[in-house]
Amino acid sequence: MAKGRRRTAESRSGINPCLKHFIFLFNLIVLAGALVVVGLMSWILYEKEKKISSFSDVLLDPSLIFLIAGCIATIIAFLGALGSLREIDTILRIYSLVVTFFLFIQLVGIIFVFIFYYDVNVLVKIGIYPEDVFENVIKNYSEDPDDLDADIRDVIHGWQEDMQCCGFSNDDEGYKAWKNNLYFNCTAGNKSPLKCSVPWSCCVYKDGDTKNTKCGNGVLNSTSVSAVQLSSKINTRGCLKAFKEWIGSNIFIVTCGIIGAFVPQMMAINFADRLYNQIRTEESKWSTL
């Protein structure tokens, strides 16, 4: 019997219809959602004429990340829906292997995050420098919409404001990284009104305070600002250190999030493998007739 050919009622006796249709409906829902995400993110990127010059442009652009994730989910869900509906064992096997592959990639990423949390020197020894990923983020930051994607700017401000940090470093002097920016550095030739300052999202605000782009003026000039004045005006720690501390204080939430992401994927792999074995068993019966 050819693979994918419609089976008679007798030939389907070994295939669980509930399992088959559950896999199909699950992947159909994922496929529909993924297509919506792909279409919406594609339109957003087209409208803002997205340009990519470095890896950080991808890492800090939510619309681009969602587009990539949507494309991957579309392909995987299509394979799962087609393979289960038509009972094509080869496609189900590919589906299972692809989901397993991406599950492995996620696991590797989580391992790197926890290595960063417990001992960042391990990453350094194997040639991975987390701070280097964000080096261009500082250098290329600009308030000019023609120089920097508005979404990336919002992510930078959101990260620094929510995490109460400044600059993307793993130390207590992350704010100093803004010296590498064209507009914020303290060099004599800098004519920018933002000279020797940091972005407004680095500043310390109290309830009711209005966000002020000038709140960090002069903080990069170490001769004019004392340590006490500095800590009262801006958050000094780097955002990588803030992220590291956030993991430590929210380890339960992080663990639950990981489990919540892994369980559906592991179930998809398990169910697809079970349906694959049932189809193979049925095909073996026909091959002996």
267 belongs to a structural domain: yes
Q: Pull the structure tokens for residue 136.
A: 């261009």
Same domain, 189 and 218: yes
If you average pLDDT over every residue of the chain, what do you get? 85
Percent of the chain clearing pLDDT 90 (strictly above): 41
Per the CB < 8 A criterion, the answer to whether 78 and 177 are in contact is no
183 belongs to a structural domain: yes
Same domain, 135 and 237: yes
Q: Which of 16, 81, 95 is nearest to 279 (CA)?
A: 16
Same domain, 165 and 259: no
109 pLDDT higher than 80: yes
105 belongs to a structural domain: yes
What pLDDT band is residue 115 in, cutting at 50, 70 and 90?
A: confident
7 pLDDT higher than 60: no
SS3 (DSSP) at 203: strand
1 belongs to a structural domain: no
Q: What pTM was estimated for this model as a whole?
A: 0.81
Long-range contacts of 71-74 (CB under 8 A, 24+ apart): 71/34, 71/38, 72/102, 73/30, 73/31, 73/33, 73/34, 73/37, 74/31, 74/34, 74/35, 74/38
HSE at residue 244, side-chain half, CA atoms within 13 A, is: 19
What pLDDT is stored for residue 227 in this prediction?
A: 64
Per the CB < 8 A criterion, the answer to whether 218 and 197 are in contact is yes
What pLDDT is stored for residue 223 in this prediction?
A: 65
pLDDT digits over 193-241, tens only?
Answer: 888 889 999 999 877 777 777 787 888 886 666 666 788 889 999 998 9
pLDDT digits over 62-98, tens only?
Answer: 888 999 999 999 999 999 999 999 999 999 999 999 9
Same domain, 240 and 261: no
Per the CB < 8 A criterion, the answer to whether 56 and 134 are in contact is yes
77 belongs to a structural domain: yes
Domain, as residue range, for 158: 130-144+151-244
Same domain, 280 and 217: no
Q: Pull the structure tokens for residue 158.
A: 């959101």
> What is the number of structural domains in the chain?
2
Q: Pull the structure tokens for residue 255.
A: 């663990």
Same domain, 212 and 234: yes
pLDDT digits over 124-171, tens only?
Answer: 677 667 777 788 888 888 877 666 677 788 888 999 999 999 998 888
